Amino acid sequence: MDLSPVLDGFGVVLEPTNLLYCLIGVVIGMLIGVLPGLGPAATIAILLPLTFGIEPVTAIIMLAGIFYGAQYGGTITSVLLRLPGEASSVVTVFDGHALARQGKAGTALGIAAIGSFVGGTVSIVALSIVAPVVAGFALDFGPPEYTALALLGILLVSTVSSGDRLKAVVAASIGLLLATVGRDGFTGAERFTFGSLDLADGLDFVPIAMGLFGLGEILHNLEERHRAVQAPAKVANVWPSRADLRRSSGAIGRGSVLGFLLGILPGGGATLSSLAAYALEKRRSKTPERFGRGAVEGVAAPETANNAAATSSFIPLLTLGIPANATMAVIFGALLIQGVTPGPQLVSEDPELFWGVVNSMYVGNILLLVMSIPLVGVFVRILRVRATVLAPITVLITLVGVYTVRNNVFDIVLVIAFGALGYLMKKLGFDPGPLVLAFVLGSLLEESLRRSLLLFGGDPTGFLTRPISGTLLALFLVVALLPLVRPLVRAALGRRRAPAPTDTHHPDHKELV
């Protein structure tokens, strides 16, 4: 492997502007991580237009910083206030807050910060090795491969994501339908445009993301603002004891690997991997009863895993152009705005951007590690800013922002419409994530499928004879059939295992699928 582009990437990161934006990104990330409700996808969507005038690499460094920074910030409120700032820190509440009540809040935060740092760093190293390998297949990825990949992605997004599976499928289907709007790229025929030129190119991704994530979340949060903020626990002695470190080192190691692997999967990501890592530690532990009562492993595992996953979810985006989760979908939009099409050619055609962004994560993680403890007090105080002040400002930024992307008033109308939809979805328990992801993957699926059929002269067996698309389709079948087969397997296993339920379990992924 040629290391010089990797080293050049460090040169890019160390430019003062990029360092500054990296810092801004991780600080914003921690900040919104602290604020319950406003997640990284929403924040990045709202800030998209501001990145317009910045260099692409600088912009993506900042947006990436927001994403992994949020994973650090989410921990703070989980531990101190029993109020998870992010979905990916929900499980941290159990043991983190228990520790805080025992006067060991510092230990919990310290372990979380160390775990996050290790998880993030392991994941970046793995990403640096894996990404160029995937990208090496760049030119072998033609329309049939993208068809199979998009199919697999949509399936995973709607079945693997956390939350109600049926509702995820419904949301994904709406996303697929929305993707069909616009002038047909193959025949020039108008589809669902109602004669409007504004719809001729289809719905733009940016207003959809800004509406569903940004406006929708703000509206939904306003409804829930009545929660009183209790006084945070005192933080003392952040350095975890040697015993705590020893106890959590295994959890940190396993969390890194699990987080990395789950982050790559479409539909995976930080939340799922934090749940999985927590479950894995609890299952492995010889004293599972300690969990929920202040076990350091219970903080270390999910916090490590969510950071590792946040980092590794960049792999499918940067190497294949397939966003693995909602936040990546928004960053995908950011890259497109900047005139950069993410895909297998990115590593070779734009090494500065690729390695600049990847390497900025090392710097960002160090910044976060250094900042996370001293800034705890400041961030907790921010929770006292009233939603009635914050919300209108954010809405204003959103609406002005979306206009500046294309100078089009129609986009403001779209944001408001999708904001209303996002609010209703949240209220009814639908996750907008699958909708947005299916919207992105839907156009890819349709176009690649039709292109492939043109190439094959209309013969669909062509998909099976090409090695990459054939493999991906086989994988698709496995994932699709798994839920049907699993109860049978489990029943069979259960019968055999029943006599000896205390077997030492090897790590398996059962409750992930």
Partner 1 sequence: MTSTSRSRRGLTAGLGLVTALSLAACGGNLGGGDSADAAESFPDGPITLLVGQDAGGSTDLIARALADQASDELGVPITVENRPGANGAVAAQELAGAEPDGQTLMTFVGSLAYITPLAVSEDEAVDIGDYTVVTGISLDDYVLVTSPQTGFTSVEDVVGAGRPVTFGTTGVGTGSQLSQELLFAQAGIDATAVPFDGGSPTLTAVLGGQVDVGAVQLGEAAAQIEAGELVPIVTFAEERPQYLPDTPTAVEAGYDVPVQQSRAIVAPDGTPDEVVTRLEEAFQAAFASADYQAFNEERLLTPDEIGGQELQEQWTGNLENYRSLVEEYGIDLGGGQ
In terms of CB distance, is 75 or 448 closer to partner 1? 448
Query: How, if at all, do strands 182-183 and 190-191 pair?
Result: antiparallel
- Indicate which single residue of 5, 185, 292, 470 sits in contact with partner 1 (rule: CB under 8 A): 185
The verdict on 352 binding partner 1 (CB under 8 A) reads: no
Q: How far is the CB of 21 from partner 1 (least distance, A)?
A: 20
Q: Which stretch binds partner 1 (CB under 8 A): 155-163, 189-197, 359-367, 469-477?
A: 189-197
Q: Among residues 29, 89, 91, 382, which one has the least CA distance to residue 232?
A: 382
Q: How many CB atoms lie within 10 A of CB 43?
A: 27
Residues 331 and 318: beta-carbon distance below 8 Å:
no
What three-state secondary structure class fits 379?
helix
Of 247 and 352, the one with the shorter C-beta distance to partner 1 is: 352
DSSP string, 448-480: HHHHHHHHTTT-TTHHHHSHHHHHHHHHHHHHH
Give CA–CA dist 487/491, Å, rounded: 6
Closest to partner 1 by CB, 134 vs 138, is 138
Residue 207 binding partner 1, by CB under 8 A: no
For residue 328, which amino acid is it?
A: M
| Cα separation, 374 vs 381, whole angstroms | 13
Q: Does residue 345 touch partner 1 according to CB under 8 A?
A: yes
Q: Dig out the tokens for 288 from the structure.
A: 């599972």
Residue with Cβ nearer partner 1 (198 or 510): 198
Contact pick of 395, 447, 469, 472 for partner 1 (by CB under 8 A) = 447
Q: Does 86 help bind partner 1 (rule: CB under 8 A)? A: no
Q: Using N-to-C axis directions, what is the helix angle for 4-13 and 16-34, rounded to 10°?
A: 70
Pick out residues in 356-395 that bind partner 1 (CB under 8 A). none
Angle between the N-to-C axes of helices 56-81 and 326-337, in degrees from 0 to 180, rounded to the nearest 10: 160
Among the listed residues 4, 388, 407, 461, the single contact to partner 1 using CB under 8 A: 407
Q: Which is nearer to partner 1, 8 or 190 (CB)?
A: 190
Measured CA to CA, the distance from residue 134 to residue 316 in angstroms comes to 9
Among 170, 173, 180, 198, binds partner 1 (CB under 8 A): 198
Comparison of 378 and 454: residue with beta carbon closer to partner 1: 454
For residues 490 and 509, give the distance between their C-alpha atoms in angstroms, rounded to a whole number.
13
Q: Which residue in 8, 15, 190, 352 binds partner 1 (CB under 8 A)?
A: 190
What are the DSSP calls for 139-183, one per residue?
A: GG--HHHHHHHHHHHHHHHHHHSSS-HHHHHHHHHHHHHHTT-EE
Beta partners for residue 191, in sequence order: 182
Q: H or E segment at 190?
A: strand 190-191
- The stretch among 106-114, 247-255, 421-429, 451-459 that binds partner 1 (CB under 8 A) is 451-459
192 binds partner 1 (CB under 8 A): no
Minimum gap (Å) between residue 286 Cβ and partner 1? 53
Which of these, 124, 66, 511, lies nearest to 309 by C-alpha position? 124
How far is CA 161 from each of CA 173, 472, 509, rounded to the nearest angstrom? 15, 20, 14
- Applying CB under 8 A, which of residues 455, 478, 492, 493 lies at the interface with partner 1? 455
Toward partner 1, which CB reaches closer, 163 or 462?
462
Quick one: 353 or 368, whose CB is closer to partner 1?
A: 353
339 is a contact residue toward partner 1 (CB under 8 A): yes
Residues 119-158 that bind partner 1 (CB under 8 A): 138-143
Using the minimum distance from each CB to partner 1, give the nearer residue, 150 or 270: 150
Which of these segments, 125-133, 216-224, 403-411, 503-511, binds partner 1 (CB under 8 A)?
403-411
- Shortest distance (Å) from residue 293 CB to partner 1: 55
Closest CB to partner 1 among 189 and 231? 189
DSSP state letter for 197: G
Q: Pick the stretch among 22-30, 170-178, 232-240, 335-343 that binds partner 1 (CB under 8 A).
A: 335-343
| Residues of the shown chain interacting with partner 1 in the complex, contacts defined by CB under 8 A | 138-143, 183-190, 195-198, 200-201, 339, 341, 343, 345, 406-410, 447, 451, 454-455, 457
